[in-house]
Amino acid sequence: MQTKADGKKLLRGSLIAFTVLFGTTALTLPLHPAFALSELRHEQGVAQQKPAEDEKAAPVETEQDGEEASPLELPLPDPIVRKNQAVTEPADDAPAEDEPQTPVEVFYDIEKAPEPVRRMRQLIVEAAASGDIERLRPLLGKGVTQTQVSMVESEEGPVETLKGQSGDPDGIEVLAILLDVLSTGFAHVGAGTPDDMYVWPYFAEKPLASLTPPEKVDLLRLVTAGDYADMQEFGSYNFYRVGITPDGEWKFFVTGE
């Protein structure tokens, strides 16, 4: 018959065996902190998001032909002229750089000019050959039909202006130049337009670089070699020239450009 003392011994032995078994199992299991249910769900959400964030934050390395990727470039500034601003367009009447020039029509026979042009030229030649500059006065006109004799406006009359341009007080030098100019060939320019004109000397209407050797001889009958060199530097003929309209009006006798 089992006594109370035997029962106590049996219970104590069972407790000792249970304690040893549980302690051994606890030593072999990993330790984890205890979480409430809400905390456990939060930890699971963070664990799911973390790989995506890490993947997004990871730098992307690009290599081209074994070279390191260039650093990030700053954006270019906006253009000075913006799309909503007005842009100045070149004038429609601006000459094109490569626009071909119309060939100059040159004549050496005065009979090729209209009769009013021939008559006015003959009157000018006769007055200049006389040596009396006053004989030019009735040919120079008055008011709106007055012949232009200077690039600069003046209150003086045309004869007085021409005397002032001459190297002598009587204007003889200017008369001699006038005769020499009218002895050359002439050019017909602006045919059929309001600027229709017969111009002496013809090389006043031609590029200097296009002059032939005989034409250069004609030019050097009027100017010196030094004058010609200056004209080349200037870019065009800039000595005296005469213009007469088809209806016989003496339009200009000027020097310069």
Residue extents of the structural domains in the chain: 105-204+240-254
Check whether 198 has a pLDDT greater than 60. Answer: yes
Check whether 74 has a pLDDT greater than 70. Answer: no
d(CA 231, CA 138): 33
Strands 186-189 vs 241-244: parallel, antiparallel or unpaired = unpaired
3-state secondary structure 61-106: CCCECCECCCCCCCCCCCCCCCCCCCCCCCCCCCCCCCCCCCCCEE
Q: What average pLDDT does the segment 200-207 reach?
A: 95
What percent of the chain shows pLDDT beyond 70? 60
Q: For residue 105, what pLDDT is reported?
A: 87
pLDDT in tens, 95-114: 444 455 667 889 999 999 99
Q: Is 144 exposed, middle or buried (0-12, 13-18, 19+ CB in 10 A)?
A: exposed
Most confident of 23-27, 31-35, 63-67, 146-150: 146-150
Which two three-digit tokens encode residue 215?
């034409």
What percent of the chain shows pLDDT beyond 90? 55
d(CA 4, CA 251): 157
pTM given for the model:
0.61
The SS3 call for residue 224 is: coil
